[in-house]
Chain A
């Protein structure tokens, strides 16, 4: 068996030197030594060499069991057997086990040697490290409320939403959710019920401690025992007088995780994480025992409360550590146990999308599926770009074509079709909550909705760049009739305008982030704070809507003298502040202009990537970040390089959506078959095969109407309108089909409102309901085939092409002939029609 170690290393892999710079604890320097700033800390780099002259550097990835994963600078990863590596001196002797099973974090200053069982034995192996002692999380000196006590509440889940962090608190005691309000927590703990929660005279009798240890009844149960460090911290703090912090107490400025990436070969391997916090006074601290840990996908990598990661199924995911208001993640890759991966030779990239998708697949050792057939591709792209299935003629023409670039040509033709704009107007109609109403006083009158919809169609028909599309709406001023883009501010549930809701919608729509959590507390799973939230809300506090020349018409404008939003905690005014950006000078101006400029700036990667991801998701059913409007640290892209590059391309294309779509639909990735392989069967995030997607509700209904040539009538619309063309949701017209198939109710901007789930009621409706049966009865297709005395083979083929976009197989034809009369009657064809329209193949995009 070939060793995974490259030849150049084999005879020389004998010594591993660890050069570590680990942070000091609490910033307390060793006597005579300056404190080591956390900023100087880098990811451990292993220097592997043979004779002291030639050296090879490798990045440490993970340790699992007896193996260490390293990555050479070339990018290749290798797995080394460390069975015989032993700590050679006192530095590692004490924590030998810890060293092996956790991370290569030194426990003391000094040097050490490791032995390897690889073919080449180490000669004079040494390992050197400099560090201060990791020590205990219990401070030796004064206990700080914010620095030491608050993290205990966090770690022990005392201040979580299900416990005392709930808005009304729990069992009479409230803490701020995840500790966003330390001052308030201190007050409630020490002042609210004086002498009850904290007993300075008899610290051990403090209710805080008695509850936590279960010595008195506690709904939350026993959280820790008296020997635990958590208990010791709380006790010591009370013993010291339960003091509040001085004004200059160091604040956490960030956290760091080690290792930054994890790689496993096969399941059930383990690797521990270490987490460090940096403070505003320049110090840093190992807070591994104080952090909380989560994984995005348990089946790929699980993580326990101590930060120990256990590998699972083949694939990639992320694990996260949370501390204070910070969350940090580490990507985890789990490779197959067997190292027999081969890349299919014909899977060559056609553009940047394939390059980035395939690179990730190679890294994950996942093989892509083969290429989709012409029929499959035609059906897929036509449904995606026009919301309709291809016609019989289109299928025959496309399949018969021998032009090598026929797929690219098809993309161009479909992108130029008017239905393209209808599809995108409907999509954005969902996201923009486009609804018509007959109540004039609500500001969401039908006329405004019709105008807004027409404006959307026009934007996509003219391929208006997405930055201009968004800018026009965010900074809109004027009448909701004559400047329909102002309906961005009228399409609100019950017609009520609320600056907070608007700010949330804009962040979600334009940046793909959800900041609503930060209304009441700092975002627990992302970086957004209440300061960010209320600063962003202030862009919308001046927006005014008033009834105009008639009750259906509204003027949208900004009161430039309107005060900004006030912070929820201390009511201080929060001037308009960009998310993650600065505070533009908008005194006396409409701040929405500055906001729109910033939002749509090419430098704003959040906007570009979010928009590109929205576009991407329409062709794969999921985004590279998914849900597409919930990008956060704990929901990172499945392929970061692809995510970023899509954004960059959109900027380079000057936000030309069609150009980006053309890249997508002409990529090999989009054209992959939906038939999975043994290698990619578990993959649902890396685009290794085409996803099998249930048709969106409106597409499904239009597809049935189109195939049967039986129109659907929409109230207040003349005949001939497709579902995709109506200005609001069809379910408002009482369409059971659309409600059943999850059409968005447009009550929120949430991108997941258009539900693609498959439910039993859908199946039952198709089988028993009036949609398919009604359309077949209404349809003249079979009548025409019979009138024209079409031979049965051709008639069956016609029905197959109309519904499934492919010809019947010989076996399928034979079954029909066996079941049908000779010659087949209308009933026979209707039954076949019914079966085809009821088939999974029809209802799904594949």
Chain B
């Protein structure tokens, strides 16, 4: 038995991506690397992996987030000649020869490819132990029956594919020999591979035929792998067995997809009890679901030092006779001491007592089973309960409730009752409300005792079901506040895909990413928040403002020196309260969607606690922006000048736009800077309810050789931060009702309310006058002392009679050499027909 070192795996949502998908995703989001083939390799071998995509010139590096994979050499880029072309968005191909170390971590890796100009989005890659056999079928029909089954060795991993087709569904049959009594385990990795970004339709099923040609077992979905199947049996007869891989009728039979089919005699338990232990513990466990039946075992848990976050798991690969299950069973390693249930525990008297903190472990054995636990809480004590069942792949859909430890009166509601949880409550801080990872079926609850006394914690299956593998673990802690930050692409900014997934700092330049601050279970943040970077490579620094705890979106800037070494690092950005007395657990998270569903209903996002940061070759430009001498007023406008400094001979067009604006501030969209031009004017406008605050603000520039709205293929850099202050307006205007006859002159009188003084006089004009009405010069000039202002107007003879609303005054104040324009008021003007005519 082996246990992999503890590895944190965190999760969350690409909010902007979700929004994009949920609204009108009329274009396909494009990536530098769209997909890679093959999707996995064997430990201790070398393998050629092709990365398909575009902008792949000058490949530099391939890195796994978990290590153990070494690049030997690159080949390409060349034209994509993959005849099954999984997506047409991948015209190029780069092939990397990779060496998989003999001790390479098993299971899922994220491979990141860096070119001299880009860090591509990661792709999933799987490392196993069995030799690989490639399917030989070239087109549908090659191995589509029992008779035509391809011969494979008993222990191997088949790299196969389901050919697309509109008139037929591909069925792949593989034959191998078994002896009666031997264990046969078959596991399919298909949907989990995330063959293409966003592709989640790879829904395969398995059908196993015995030596007599009859179906012995079928598998489609499983509690452990959700959409991917597994079969594990004890062979009933000697002879030739055949496994069939196919997609379901009607699901997406036209899709071309790939899979990894593990066939062998390896152990394949599907659940483990208990579901966790303490660091360094030699945990006694019971494994269930394996073809040879339940088994007791001992697993040595790694001695981790760091308190794990709410979604971190230890991946335990069951092993027997040097054969390892291809996929792990997830376990929790926490400081909680394990308490195992003792049945019967269905009544008040039978409830097992525990103290806080504890990890409660039990099984909902049969339909209708309910497990009761007893604990004592003091008045106002706050306790966190987190259940782990579906999160760790057991079939239980848990529901918990808390009652006073006394017989309940009829119709007495529990003090608390929770079935499912939100992503945030489960600790998936980066996420979209449409996402449906199985973990949200597990409840999480912060309970505040209103009085001292004994309480009963009950757990049952929401559906009323139960079975011996309906295993759960409840972690009970004194409440701890928590928070997290994650890279974030604000809505309306397109996908901004590279900024959403990776940090790519051009040498000698700046890169800004918006981070979002999230509150954890039962947490209300207060005070000021500051930021910390862990793992920045030499030559890279972070610039981050302190923000009020109510602020949720923060731009954080990274600066690379000219001599910062190109390469990939894994960094953590953490938010901390400025007040060091506050005890708050803090997490960094990034979620990526490799297996999605139409409509943005991703079900298997991958969460990570470290962000890929690459130093890349410098962009062909950098941007400068001077600190504006004055800020924005509410309902006012401000124009900022961005200076484009072109490097060397580069004279291409680029686009400049604010990557992020504070709430209540609007901008005019991207501004194209044509070849030869060196400045761009960025206009900002504050709404009447914009927060009165000073923000760190910058603007992004992007070349136009990729897809600017997504960021894919474009070289990007940002300006330095400037301070952007939003303040009250100088003066506000209330109009008196006015009228004018057609063909005559008239006036509109405005009453002025002075908010703060300004020097000199300000020009006042009117906006939104009805057609045919014009403001007569000279325009009124107002000072800080004026109480009224009169606008002289004239209506032409062809002006339309009637009442016109929403006439607005514009006051232009000259402050510190900069003109500050503000709008105010909402006037009504009636246009009358000429009197007596």
Residues of A within 8 A of B (CB): 436, 438-441, 446-447, 449-450, 477-478, 481-482, 546-553, 555-558, 560, 590, 713, 715-719, 721, 727
On chain A, the residues within 8 Å of B253 by CB distance are 716-718
On chain B, the residues within 8 Å of A548 by CB distance are 397, 438, 441
Any chain A CB within 8 A of the CB of B148?
no
Contact check, B168 vs A718: say whether CB atoms are below 8 A apart. Answer: yes
How distant is A342 from chain B, measured CB to nearest CB, in Å?
57
Any chain A CB within 8 A of the CB of B251?
yes
Contact check, A547 vs B250: say whether CB atoms are below 8 A apart. Answer: no
- 14 A-B residue contacts at CB 8 Å? A438-B598, A441-B434, A446-B250, A450-B251, A477-B465, A548-B441, A550-B601, A551-B434, A551-B597, A551-B599, A551-B603, A590-B464, A718-B168, A719-B167
Binary flags per residue of B446-481, CB closer than 8 Å to A gives 1, else 0:
000000000000000011110000000000000000
Q: A718–B253 Cα gap in the complex (Å)?
A: 8
Known: A716-B254, A717-B253. A550 touches B464 (CB 8 A): no
Any chain A CB within 8 A of the CB of B300?
no
Q: Which of A446, A477, A550, A719 has the most chain B CB atoms closer than 10 A to its own CB?
A: A550
Additional 11 contacts, C-beta under 8 A, given A450-B251, A555-B462: A450-B248, A450-B250, A477-B464, A477-B465, A482-B221, A549-B436, A552-B597, A555-B397, A557-B464, A560-B464, A590-B464
Contact check, A446 vs B251: say whether CB atoms are below 8 A apart. Answer: yes
Contact check, B601 vs A440: say whether CB atoms are below 8 A apart. Answer: yes
Q: A552–B191 Cα gap in the complex (Å)?
A: 14
Please, which residue of chain B has its CB at the minimum distance from the CB of A716?
B250
Please, which residue of chain A has its CB at the minimum distance from the CB of B248?
A450
Please, which residue of chain A has its CB at the minimum distance from the CB of B419?
A546
Any chain A CB within 8 A of the CB of B390?
yes
How distant is A591 from chain B, measured CB to nearest CB, in Å?
13
How distant is A425 from chain B, measured CB to nearest CB, in Å?
14
Please, which residue of chain B has its CB at the minimum distance from the CB of A549?
B438
Please, which residue of chain B has its CB at the minimum distance from the CB of A439?
B599
Which 7 pairs across A and B sit closest by C-beta, in order of nearness? A551-B601, A550-B603, A557-B463, A549-B438, A440-B601, A718-B169, A718-B168
Any chain A CB within 8 A of the CB of B799?
no
Q: A547–B436 Cα gap in the complex (Å)?
A: 8
Known: A547-B436, A549-B441, A590-B464. A481 touches B220 (CB 8 A): yes
Contact check, B250 vs A449: say whether CB atoms are below 8 A apart. Answer: yes
Interface residues on chain B, size class: 35 or more
Q: A447–B598 Cα gap in the complex (Å)?
A: 13
Contact check, B397 vs A450: say whether CB atoms are below 8 A apart. Answer: no
On chain B, the residues within 8 Å of A546 by CB distance are 419-420
Contact check, A718 vs B390: say whether CB atoms are below 8 A apart. Answer: no
Any chain A CB within 8 A of the CB of B203?
yes
How distant is B200 from chain A, measured CB to nearest CB, in Å?
8
How distant is B360 from chain A, measured CB to nearest CB, in Å?
23
On chain A, the residues within 8 Å of B226 by CB distance are 549-550
Q: A727–B253 Cα gap in the complex (Å)?
A: 14
On chain B, the residues within 8 Å of A446 by CB distance are 250-251
Any chain A CB within 8 A of the CB of B166?
yes
On chain A, the residues within 8 Å of B434 by CB distance are 441, 551
Any chain A CB within 8 A of the CB of B42?
no
Contact check, B167 vs A713: say whether CB atoms are below 8 A apart. Answer: yes
Contact check, A555 vs B463: say whether CB atoms are below 8 A apart. Answer: yes
On chain B, the residues within 8 Å of A449 by CB distance are 250
Q: A446–B169 Cα gap in the complex (Å)?
A: 16
Contact check, A553 vs B221: say whether CB atoms are below 8 A apart. Answer: yes
Q: A718–B163 Cα gap in the complex (Å)?
A: 13
Q: A560–B597 Cα gap in the complex (Å)?
A: 32
Contact of A550 among B436, B462, B465 (CB under 8 A): B436
How distant is B157 from chain A, measured CB to nearest CB, in Å?
24
Contact check, B463 vs A440: say whether CB atoms are below 8 A apart. Answer: no
Binary flags per residue of B194-228, CB closer than 8 Å to A gives 1, else 0:
00000000010000000000000000110100110
On chain A, the residues within 8 Å of B438 by CB distance are 548-550
Q: A557–B166 Cα gap in the complex (Å)?
A: 37
Contact of A450 among B223, B249, B419, B436 (CB under 8 A): B249
How distant is B571 from chain A, measured CB to nearest CB, in Å?
32
How distant is B828 from chain A, measured CB to nearest CB, in Å?
39
On chain A, the residues within 8 Å of B221 by CB distance are 481-482, 549, 553
How distant is A462 from chain B, measured CB to nearest CB, in Å?
15
Q: A546–B419 Cα gap in the complex (Å)?
A: 11
On chain A, the residues within 8 Å of B604 by CB distance are 550
Contact check, B168 vs A440: say whether CB atoms are below 8 A apart. Answer: no
Contact check, B250 vs A717: say whether CB atoms are below 8 A apart. Answer: yes
How distant is B406 from chain A, measured CB to nearest CB, in Å?
18
Q: A2–B603 Cα gap in the complex (Å)?
A: 86
Q: A109–B441 Cα gap in the complex (Å)?
A: 78
Any chain A CB within 8 A of the CB of B3?
no
Contact check, B168 vs A551: say whether CB atoms are below 8 A apart. Answer: no
On chain A, the residues within 8 Å of B463 by CB distance are 477-478, 555-557
How distant is A585 from chain B, measured CB to nearest CB, in Å?
14
On chain A, the residues within 8 Å of B744 by CB distance are none
Q: A170–B497 Cα gap in the complex (Å)?
A: 61
- Cβ < 8 Å to A, chain B residues 419-437: 419-420, 434, 436
Q: A169–B597 Cα gap in the complex (Å)?
A: 49
How distant is A103 from chain B, measured CB to nearest CB, in Å?
57
Q: A718–B251 Cα gap in the complex (Å)?
A: 12
Contact of B598 among A440, A481, A556, A590 (CB under 8 A): A440
How distant is A185 from chain B, measured CB to nearest CB, in Å?
36
Contact check, A716 vs B249: say whether CB atoms are below 8 A apart. Answer: yes
On chain B, the residues within 8 Å of A719 by CB distance are 167-168
Q: A441–B599 Cα gap in the complex (Å)?
A: 8
Known: A441-B434, A718-B169. A727 touches B601 (CB 8 A): no
